């Protein structure tokens, strides 16, 4: 008697109604619903919805649903599809779309394509695409400078709420051992990364301020484990971390600061010898590696750092110490001058 060692599987609503054969113990398939309890949203996609979509160059890009239709596969089954435009529409966009009468960031309609809604190339908006300033075939600024060190475009994307993967083993880091990403996943599953955000939020509100030494240690931990982060986690974690870090660093306890006490809490303004050079060194050493995982270098050194300068200047202008208030004005003036000379803010793709 021969034992069954192979199974034939056909995917539902697939453009190609082909049957694929797997070994009986192949991990590529699982019981119904095990990894597919978060995909129904795909069937509800409509015109003007924003999504993330991987193009033919294997780049995750922000995209817009332009049209919908129901096609038939080779077996005559209905396959819902969306026409993907690899662009997002914005009045500040550098290019006009004559058909829609709107400006946009991204690629022209030359690259529009129909994609089945069930394709893994379609993902939720801002779940896999990085932050980029502009996209041009001759100068792909949406590619990160560290992409030669590790490639996260092939990270597994689970269509389930039951699995939250924060880190994965990578051959070029920590010897490819699984024990470290396993520990990071346990840390994330227990709410560790969320507690980091909560601590920064508390500091920003002045409830439980964090010491500058603790903040540095925290950023060192994040920077060292950064290469192991999965793409989906890094896209979801870095934007709120950036925002909360900004507010935490710019929080000013006026009573403490004006008394010039130097051993109290995070607050880069409580030191008389504080200068923007110190601020930039702190950012370069402990924070910029995190930003570079999600943003292009041009955005980090331009938009993000300029925003930090303006926030720093505005916070310092609220102090009673005249010298520090004058320093705040200088920071803002320098920032505005820097933006005018080097960067055009309208070119940046905003991410509220």
For residue 14, pLDDT over 60 is answered with: yes
If you average pLDDT over each of 46-55, 217-226, 304-313, which comes out highest? 46-55
Contact 82, 122 (CB under 8 A): yes
Average pLDDT of the chain? 77
Asked if residues 242 and 291 have their Cβ atoms less than 8 Å apart, the reply is yes
pLDDT of residue 156: 83
| pLDDT at residue 279, rounded to an integer | 60
Residue of 159, 157, 165 lying closest to 40 (CA atoms) = 159
Per-residue pLDDT, 30:
78
73, 15 contact by CB (below 8 A) = yes
Among the four given CATH numbers 3.30.830.10, 3.40.1190.20, 2.30.30.140, 3.40.50.1220, the one describing domain 41-163: 2.30.30.140
Map residue 103 onto helix, strand or coil: strand
What are the boundaries of each domain within the chain?
41-163, 174-347
Both tokens assigned to 327:
């320093």
**pLDDT > 70: percent of the chain:** 74
Query: Does residue 109 or residue 319 have the better pLDDT?
Result: 109
pLDDT of residue 349: 36
- Give the C-alpha separation, 18 to 14, whole Å: 8
| pLDDT for residue 348 | 35
Q: Is the pLDDT of residue 70 over 80?
A: yes
Pairing of strands 113-116, 102-106: unpaired
Higher pLDDT among residues 152 and 167, named by residue: 167
Q: How far apart are CA 33 and CA 23, in angstroms?
A: 20
Residue (of 143, 151, 86) closest to 296 by Cα position: 143
Contacts of residue 45, Cβ cutoff 8 Å, sequence gap at least 6: 51, 65, 68, 82, 117, 122
Report the distance separating Cα 300 and Cα 85, nearest Å. 27
Report how many helices (DSSP H) and strands (DSSP E) the chain contains, helices first.
10, 10
Beta-carbon count within 10 A of 93 CB:
19
Comparing C-alpha atoms, which of 220, 229, 235 is closest to residue 150? 229
pLDDT of residue 84: 97
Let me know how long the chain is.
Answer: 352
pLDDT of residue 157: 84
Which residues are bridge partners to 50 per DSSP?
Answer: 64
Task: pLDDT band for 137, please (50, 70, 90 cuts).
Answer: low
Q: What is the mean predicted confidence (pLDDT) over 27-45?
A: 79
pLDDT at residue 195 greater than cutoff 80: yes
Minimum mean pLDDT range among 300-304, 309-313, 344-348: 344-348
Torsion of the alpha carbons at 96, 101, 102 and 105, rounded to the nearest 10 = -40
Token pair listed for 274: 């504080």
Kindly report each contact of residues 336-340 with a partner whose C-beta sits within 8 Å and lies 24 or more positions away, as own/partner: 338/306, 338/309, 339/302, 339/306
In terms of DSSP bridges, do strands 102-106 and 87-89 run parallel, antiparallel, or are they unpaired? antiparallel
Confidence band for 351, pLDDT divided at 50, 70 and 90:
very low
């Amino acid at each position: 008697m021969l034992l069954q060692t192979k199974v034939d599987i056909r995917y539902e609503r697939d453009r190609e109604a082909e049957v694929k054969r797997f070994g009986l113990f192949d991990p590529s398939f699982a019981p119904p619903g095990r990894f597919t309890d978060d995909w129904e949203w795909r069937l509800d996609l409509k015109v003007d919805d924003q999504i993330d979509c991987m193009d033919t160059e294997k780049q995750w890009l922000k995209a817009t649903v332009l049209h919908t239709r129901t096609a038939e596969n080779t077996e005559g089954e209905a396959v819902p599809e969306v026409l993907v435009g690899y662009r997002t529409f914005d009045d500040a966009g550098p290019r006009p779309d004559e058909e829609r009468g709107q400006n946009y960031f991204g690629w022209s309609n030359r690259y529009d394509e129909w994609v089945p809604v069930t394709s893994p190339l379609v993902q939720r908006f801002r779940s896999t695409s990085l932050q980029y300033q502009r996209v041009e075939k001759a100068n792909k600024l949406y590619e990160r400078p560290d992409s030669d060190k590790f490639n996260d475009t092939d990270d597994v994307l689970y269509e389930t709420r039951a699995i939250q993967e924060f880190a994965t083993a990578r051959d070029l880091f920590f010897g490819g051992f699984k024990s470290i990403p396993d520990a990071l996943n346990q840390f994330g599953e227990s709410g560790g990364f969320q507690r980091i955000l909560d601590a920064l939020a508390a500091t920003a509100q002045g409830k439980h301020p964090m010491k500058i030494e603790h903040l540095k240690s925290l950023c060192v931990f994040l920077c060292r484990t950064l290469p192991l982060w999965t793409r989906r986690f890094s896209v979801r974690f870095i934007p709120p971390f950036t925002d909360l870090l900004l507010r935490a660093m710019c929080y000013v306890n006026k009573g403490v600061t004006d008394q010039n006490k130097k051993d109290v809490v995070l607050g880069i303004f409580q030191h008389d010898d504080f200068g923007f050079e110190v601020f930039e060194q702190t950012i370069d050493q402990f924070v910029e590696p995190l930003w570079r995982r999600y943003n292009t270098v041009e955005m980090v050194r331009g938009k993000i750092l300029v925003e930090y300068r303006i926030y720093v200047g505005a916070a310092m202008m609220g102090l009673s110490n005249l010298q520090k208030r004058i320093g705040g004005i200088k920071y803002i003036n320098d920032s505005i001058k820097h933006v005018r000379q080097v960067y055009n803010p309208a070119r940046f793709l905003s991410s509220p």
